[in-house]
């Protein structure tokens, strides 16, 4: 059609131009700006006045008790809920990894907690866990397990447990489906061979199943850790970080600092600290991955 000359091929650049433009202006540019803001004392009410204060915000962060308690709960929340979601996902995936009648329906049902909007999930959980009219407390009372209602969202310790349980409920379907797909790609011959060799079910699980799904599992866990670490809507919608800040994670702390107290400079500093932690975590992951390749 056209004469073919060897020169720079613009085609891929043109094709990805809209995406690159959007990501640069709505993700990368704000990101750099956010990092800059973390060195300033910018206020929400006068966003044009950006007073550069060097490392002052970071020094303040180190002695900020609210920050350390938020950091601690963020870590606990992230890792406990990710590990529990993984274990539950693994259990469900193992149960589903066989011939099931109505497989599609089961999979669709399994996905429900994951696709339901966070607002809807938290509303129905709050309703179920209500101390006076909630069905969970009433049921436990009828069974004679408790005399007084459990304050699932008003007691600081119980609130922590509840938000973690909610996160597990909401995210385990993702884990289950990723693990299931990875289980189904294991060649059945391995199992047949091990049966002939006389391996038991437990041995098969630890020496065939787990090594075969290891790569996908690791990636799913890493993604989930990053999502849980940065996400705030689950907890915000359930407890707003309360009672007495017991469920306040770093993202909620940053949000409050920016939009209620109006210090967007310091709020950015908190977010930058989050980013530093996640970079550390990601470096660890890449090191593990690299070691695996070297082996």
Q: How far is the CB of 155 from another protein (least distance, A)?
A: 20
Nearer to another protein, 181 or 210 (CB): 181
* Alpha carbons 17 and 25: distance in angstroms, whole number: 12
Q: How far is the CB of 239 from another protein (least distance, A)?
A: 13
Shortest Å distance, C-beta 133 to another protein:
6
Q: Cβ closer to another protein: 159 or 274?
A: 274
Task: Using the minimum distance from each CB to another protein, give the nearer residue, 84 or 232.
Answer: 232
Q: How far is the CB of 263 from another protein (least distance, A)?
A: 10
Please, what is the minimum distance in Å from the beta carbon of residue 119 to another protein?
Answer: 4
Q: Quick one: 12 or 54, whose CB is closer to another protein?
A: 12
Quote the least distance from Cβ 190 to another protein, whole Å.
18
Show Cβ contacts of residue 61 under 8 Å, excluding neighbours closer than 6 positions.
Answer: 67, 266, 269, 270, 273
Nearer to another protein, 55 or 181 (CB): 181
Is 159 or 270 the residue whose CB approaches another protein more closely?
Answer: 270
């Amino acid at each position: 059609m056209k004469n073919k000359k060897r020169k720079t091929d613009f085609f891929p650049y043109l094709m990805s131009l809209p995406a690159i433009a959007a990501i640069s202006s709505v993700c990368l540019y704000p990101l750099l700006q956010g990092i800059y803001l973390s060195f300033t004392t910018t206020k929400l009410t006068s966003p044009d006045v950006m007073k550069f204060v060097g490392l002052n915000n970071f020094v303040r962060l180190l002695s900020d008790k609210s920050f350390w308690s938020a950091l601690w709960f963020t870590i606990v929340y992230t890792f406990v809920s990710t590990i529990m979601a993984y274990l539950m996902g693994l259990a469900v995936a193992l149960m589903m990894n066989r011939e099931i009648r109505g497989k599609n329906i089961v999979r669709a049902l399994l996905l429900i907690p994951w696709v339901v909007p966070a607002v809807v999930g938290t509303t129905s959980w709050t309703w179920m866990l209500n101390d006076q009219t909630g069905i969970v407390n009433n049921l436990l009372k009828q069974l004679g397990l408790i005399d007084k209602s459990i304050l699932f969202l008003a007691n600081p310790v119980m609130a922590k447990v509840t938000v973690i349980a909610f996160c597990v409920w909401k995210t385990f379907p993702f884990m289950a489906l990723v693990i299931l797909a990875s289980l189904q790609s294991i060649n059945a011959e391995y199992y047949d061979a091990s049966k002939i060799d006389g391996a038991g079910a437990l041995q098969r699980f630890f020496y065939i199943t787990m090594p075969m799904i290891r790569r996908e599992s690791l990636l799913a866990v890493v993604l989930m850790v990053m999502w849980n670490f940065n996400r705030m809507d689950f907890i915000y919608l359930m407890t707003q970080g309360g009672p007495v800040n017991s469920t306040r994670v770093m993202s909620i702390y940053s949000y409050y600092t920016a939009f209620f107290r109006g210090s967007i400079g310091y709020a950015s500093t908190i977010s930058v600290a989050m980013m530093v932690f996640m970079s550390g975590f990601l470096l660890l992951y890449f090191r593990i991955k690299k070691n695996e390749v070297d082996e």
